Amino acid sequence: MPLKAISLIGLLIVGVLLSIPALRGSSTVEAQSQADARLRQRAMKLHRESIVVDTHNDITSPIVDEGFDMGARDTSGKFQTDIPRMKDGGLDAEFFSIYVAAGYAKEGGSARRALQMIDGVYEQIRRHPESLELARTVSDIRRLHKTGKVAALMGIEGGHAIEDSLPALRMFHQLGIRYMTLTHTNTNNWADSAGGISVKGERRHGGLSDFGKEVVREMNRLGMMVDISHVSDETFSDCIEISQAPLIASHSSCRALTVVPRNMSDDMLRALAKNGGVVMINFYNGFINTDYARPGMPAPAKAAEKATLDMLMQHFEHAIKVAGIDHVGIGSDFDGVDGLLPPGMEDVTKLPTITYELLKRGYSEADVKKVLGENLLRAMGQVEQVAAKLQASGVKPSIRKIDTKIDAK
């Protein structure tokens, strides 16, 4: 039989086979599977090339309270973070939360607790110098990225940690603190809090007191990022008005999707973008479940325990849409939410999923790199520049003390 005839017969057979719905569907599924595999491979390559920054991780609490060591992979299922898994997840810079619970504001010992947490981070760096190194600047982070080490940074969660003392704030900065969340769920002596899902925020100062405004100014002078996660809307507005440097929200999500006081409204997102700041999306189910606390629904009495990966990505996309691609980042809250995380984001090894999901949704590689870390590095660099300018202009450390009759009313 002539070769041409054989070819024609072959084409007819293929045509008949493809006309069978089941086979045609199988071919489509296989093609989609191959395309997805290529996308995942591309995502992993991009993720490894990028500087991935997470601005909020609470593994510090188990380190201090339970003697947890980050050197070995945890297989208990209890924790979401350790050094082997940080490397698996392509994490380059971690802000360890120096979390001071609200109870310390009443019982005393806030600064001591913060020092214990800082010591815990220092001890992990001492034990694992091949993997962790303290970073204080953007240039430190970029340098360590090239070495393969994880840059260890710290942020205070709960402004009561400074015990109403600007000298204490300065000493914390010298120890390596590079942001401070002005409040936690409690209103302190100089800043109002948003409260919590089941805890109403106390409006004592109408935002920041006069001393609270001085705290923000001194943070600008030092080069410490002002973190507005947990603060009331009025406190946020005061910070926007006063701060000469970009603000950050180290672990917040979008109120337009999930109506909890801790999330940021669209007006806040727009104001933060205008300020040059960055909102880092929180992974906690209670802040991202878009069914449990939808706009127009009654305020939830407690946090949602379940959410989905798609809900998390909706928060990323909404923040990008409202604030802009230059003003969104990652603030996981790993090890701070009792494991209440969406399937697919169970621990730090899952961070490449964010890269994959953003690429899948059509974002360019350059834009994905911004969300993974470059946006935070840009804002942090601007904070450093403002501090250098203020100090060069002769601005001296503030000697302002809290006036208990006015500030702490």
Residue 251 a catalytic site member = yes
The one catalytic residue in 54, 218, 238, 333 is: 333
Catalytic residue from among 56, 145, 173, 327: 56
Task: Please identify which of the residues 82, 157, 218, 384 carries the catalytic annotation.
Answer: 157
Active site residue 58: yes
From 251, 315, 318, 327, active-site residue = 251
State both tokens at 358: 């953003």
CA distances from 185 to 157, 175, 193 (A): 10, 25, 6
CA 66 to chain centroid: 24
Catalytic residue among 47, 160, 205, 230: 230
Structure tokens at 138: 């953007």
Q: Rounded distance, CA 230 to CA 376, Å?
A: 19
Active-site hit among 47, 54, 58, 192: 58
Residue 287 CA neighbour count, 13 Å, CB half: 26
Assign 59 to helix, strand or coil.
Answer: coil
Instruction: Map tokens 């992979």 to a residue.
Output: 73
**160 noted as active-site residue:** no
To the query of whether residue 184 is one of the catalytic residues in this protein, the response is yes
**Spatial separation of the C-alpha atoms in residues 370 and 355, rounded to whole Å:** 11
For 181, list phi and psi in degrees, rounded to 5.
-75, 115
Is 310 labeled as catalytic in the residue annotation? no
Catalytic residue among 160, 184, 315, 318: 184
Classify residue 374 by its DSSP letter: I
Residue 252: which of 327, 177, 199 has the closest Cα? 327
Q: Is residue 92 among the annotated active site residues?
A: no
- CA dist 274 and 390 (Å) reads 21
Catalytic, 291? Answer: no
List, by residue number, the catalytic residues: 56, 58, 157, 184, 230, 251, 333
